C-alpha cells in the first residue's frame, strides 16, 4: 500500500516542480524497487493533468554488469536510445531509491570515463539540463536512513518535512540574496583550514526553489574561472565513483586545483578525479545551502548540498544558467558546513560580512535564517 504522503509529494512534483501541461511528455526514471510507490502516484497525477508519463526503470545495481563490460560502441548505442527519449521529453523526473549507494564501487576507471563521455555528459549535463524542465529526488529507504544515522520511521518523517517545505515562501526569501550576488564582485570565505577568494562579477545568480531538485533550497552562481585563489577544506563526506572521501582540502592558484588532500579516501584516486579532463581541476559552481530542515550531512548530495548554513564549491562543469565557461564530465558538489557545531566560518562579499557561523547577519538576508523560515 502506498504511503499516503506520496500523493501530496506527487502533486507538488508534477504541479509545482515540473508544471506538467496537457499533452507534455514526462520521462520518468525510477531507480530502485522502493521508488515504485511514489512513481505510481506520479503516473496518476501526471495523467490526470493531461500529461504522458513514459517510465524507465534503471538502477546502478541492475546495470553494473553492463558498465563493467560494455565496449565503447555498446555504450554509445545505449546513450543514443536515452538521448532520443530525452529529446522528445518536455519534462524529466528521476526518483532514486537504490538500496546501495556503493553499487558502482570498484569499476574500471576507463569504463567510468566512457560512461561519462558518451552518456552522462551529453544526455544529462547537456540535453537534460538545457532543454527540459527537470527534477531529481531520492526516495526514503533503509539505506538512506542508515546513512543519516536515523531510524526508518524518523527518517521518513524528516524526508517528507524536507520535501514538502513551503518552497514558495523560501523562493521569496531568496530574492535579496540573488540580487546581492548579481551585483557582487568578490567573495571571501574563511574558516578552519579555509581562506579562499574569488570573483563572481558578471556571472549572475540562480535560485533553486523546488523546481529542480527535491529537496531543494540553494542559491548558486559560479566563480570567474581563473579567479579562485587560496585553500578550502570541506567537512562533509562525499561519494565519488563509488569511493568515500572526507576531509578534502583543495588549494587553488589562478582558478586551478594545484594541491588536493583528504583525511579519508585514496589521495591518488582523488588526484585522478581532478585530472580526468581539463575542466575537472576548475570550479563550476558556488552555492549557499538554505534548507532549514536539513542540518547534518548524510552522504547524499541532493540533501547535503542544501544544508542550512552550508556552502558547496564544486569542481567541474558549470551550469549554463550561471556560466563561467568551464566544461567537464565532473560536477562534484563538495560541501562545507559553517555552523558552530562544525567549526564555524564567515563569508564576506565585497568586503561586507554577510554570513557568520552559518547565519546571515545583514537585515535583507535574515529571512533566510532557519528561525525565520520555520516560524
Domain residues for the domain of 266 are: 167-374
Total domains in the fold of the chain: 2
Q: Which helix (H) or strand (E) holds 219?
A: strand 218-221
**Residue of 167 and 73 predicted with greater confidence:** 73
Whose cell is 532549514? That residue is: 292
Query: What is the band of 113 on the pLDDT scale with cuts at 50, 70, 90?
Result: confident
Residues 158 and 211 in one domain: no
**Residue of 333 and 33 predicted with greater confidence:** 333
Residues 49 and 195 in one domain: no
How many angstroms from the chain centroid is the CA of residue 345?
A: 22
pTM, to two decimals: 0.76
Residues 150 and 271 in one domain: no
Answer for the pair 278, 328: CB distance below 8 angstroms, yes or no: yes
How does pLDDT run across 63-88, given as a tens digit for each residue? 899 999 999 999 999 999 999 999 99
How does pLDDT run across 288-345, given as a tens digit for each residue? 999 999 998 888 888 899 999 999 999 999 998 999 999 998 999 999 999 999 999 9
Please list the alpha-helical segments (H only) found in the chain: 5-11, 36-48, 60-69, 72-88, 109-115, 129-131, 142-147, 152-163, 167-183, 267-274, 301-304, 370-374
Residues 13 and 71 in one domain: yes
DSSP state of 160: H
Residue 171 CB-density burial (10 A; 0-12 exposed, 13-18 middle, 19+ buried): middle
Query: Torsion over CA of 202, 233, 190 and 180, rounded to 10 degrees?
Result: 30
Residues 246 and 190 in one domain: yes
Residues 159 and 172 in one domain: no
pLDDT at res. 1: 52
Which of 133, 163, 193 finishes a domain?
A: 163
Which of 163, 178, 205 finishes a domain?
A: 163
Residues 141 and 174 in one domain: no
Which of 163, 180, 206 finishes a domain?
A: 163
- Cα-based distances in Å from 366 to 94, 370, 372: 33, 9, 7
Amino acid at each position: 500500500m502506498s504511503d499516503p504522503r506520496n500523493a501530496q509529494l506527487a502533486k507538488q512534483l508534477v504541479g509545482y516542480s515540473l508544471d506538467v501541461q496537457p499533452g507534455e511528455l514526462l520521462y520518468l526514471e525510477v531507480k530502485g524497487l522502493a521508488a515504485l510507490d511514489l512513481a505510481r502516484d506520479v503516473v496518476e497525477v501526471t495523467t490526470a493533468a493531461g500529461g504522458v508519463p513514459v517510465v524507465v526503470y534503471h538502477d546502478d545495481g541492475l546495470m553494473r554488469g553492463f558498465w563493467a563490460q560494455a565496449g565503447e560502441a555498446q555504450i554509445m548505442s545505449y546513450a543514443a536510445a536515452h538521448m532520443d527519449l530525452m529529446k522528445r521529453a518536455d519534462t524529466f523526473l528521476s526518483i532514486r531509491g537504490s538500496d546501495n549507494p556503493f553499487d558502482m564501487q570498484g569499476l574500471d576507471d576507463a569504463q567510468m570515463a566512457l560512461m561519462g563521455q558518451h552518456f552522462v555528459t551529453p544526455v544529462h549535463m547537456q540535453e537534460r539540463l538545457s532543454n527540459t524542465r527537470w527534477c531529481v529526488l531520492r526516495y526514503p529507504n533503509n539505506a538512506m536512513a542508515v546513512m543519516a544515522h536515523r531510524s526508518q520511521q524518523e527518517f521518513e518523517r524528516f524526508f517528507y518535512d524536507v520535501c514538502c517545505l513551503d518552497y514558495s515562501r523560501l523562493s521569496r526569501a531568496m530574492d535579496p540574496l540573488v540580487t546581492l550576488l548579481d551585483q557582487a564582485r568578490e567573495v571571501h570565505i574563511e574558516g578552519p583550514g579555509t581562506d579562499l577568494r574569488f570573483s563572481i562579477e558578471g556571472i549572475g545568480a540562480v535560485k533553486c526553489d523546488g523546481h529542480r531538485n527535491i529537496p531543494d533550497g540553494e542559491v548558486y552562481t559560479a566563480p570567474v574561472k581563473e579567479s579562485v585563489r587560496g585553500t578550502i577544506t570541506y567537512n562533509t563526506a562525499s561519494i565519488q565513483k563509488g569511493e568515500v572521501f572526507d576531509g578534502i582540502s583543495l588549494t587553488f592558484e589562478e582558478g586551478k586545483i594545484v594541491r588536493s588532500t583528504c583525511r579519508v579516501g585514496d589521495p591518488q584516486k582523488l588526484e585522478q578525479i581532478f585530472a580526468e579532463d581539463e575542466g575537472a581541476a576548475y570550479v563550476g559552481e558556488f552555492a549557499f545551502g538554505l534548507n532549514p530542515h536539513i542540518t547534518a550531512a548524510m552522504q547524499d548530495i541532493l540533501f547535503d548540498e542544501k544544508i542550512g548554513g552550508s556552502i558547496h564549491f564544486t569542481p567541474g562543469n558549470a551550469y549554463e544558467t550561471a556560466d563561467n565557461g568551464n566544461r567537464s564530465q565532473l560536477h562534484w558538489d563538495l560541501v562545507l558546513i559553517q555552523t558552530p557545531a562544525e567549526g564555524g566560518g564567515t563569508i564576506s562579499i565585497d568586503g561586507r560580512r554577510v554570513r557568520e557561523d552559518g547565519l546571515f547577519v545583514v537585515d535583507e538576508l535574515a529571512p533566510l535564517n532557519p528561525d525565520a523560515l520555520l516560524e
